[in-house]
Amino acid sequence: MSLRLGDLAPNFKAKTSQGEISFYDYLGDSWAVLFSHPADYTPVCTTELGKTASLKNEFDKRNVKVLALSVDSVESHKGWINDINETQNVEVNFPIIADENREIAEMYGMMHPNASETFTVRSLFIIDPDKKIKLMITYPASTGRNFQEILRVIDSLQLTANYSVATPADWKEGEDVVVVPAIKTEDIPAKFPKGHRVIKPYLRMTPQPNK
């Protein structure tokens, strides 16, 4: 069965470039980004994993643990990490899962046979501390991910998990947000004392509440 938003992320045990892990235990009370790569020693993936390593501080301050996955072996991963570190001027600081039998890839729907029979597509899952899937993005093998968008989405998910707001198109941290329709307009001042604007009865804006 295919996974959907709000589903419990499947738990698994796996060998990784940093030793064996049990997924839930590894996450603890953190958020997670779990993302797959078609294969080791591929050019676009090399740039992606380098970019991920360079953003360690950004993920850390959002309480996010990152895990990559490829269908190659741990030994292959370790050799590839040397290349990533050398060419991207980073130190890869997160586990790369060795999913040689493709069990995790199948569990998470990362295999798209019409795209490739043997390689995972570029799937990305954001998972909250309750182990629920909050976002899924799938890119083709030819297109590298936009990691600023991934950070932006994490900011939105963490904000909207704690306040009765939604984030509008192109929203970035610090900008005004939408008051959710469930809040009556007359109740907004008590919940959002920074002020609000009524553009339409269904479109009410307020400054970001946790800033």
Q: Do residues 24 and 12 lie in contact, with contact meaning Cβ atoms separated by under 8 Å?
A: no
**Residue keyed to tokens 């019409």:** 114
Closest by Cα among 19, 49, 21 to 37: 49
Has 45 been annotated as catalytic?
yes
* Cβ burial 100-123 (10 Å sphere, 16+ → b, else e): eeeebbeebbbbeeeeeeebbbbb
Of 32, 33, 34, 45, which one is the catalytic site residue?
45
Give the CA radius of gyration of the chain. 19
Catalytic residue numbers read 45
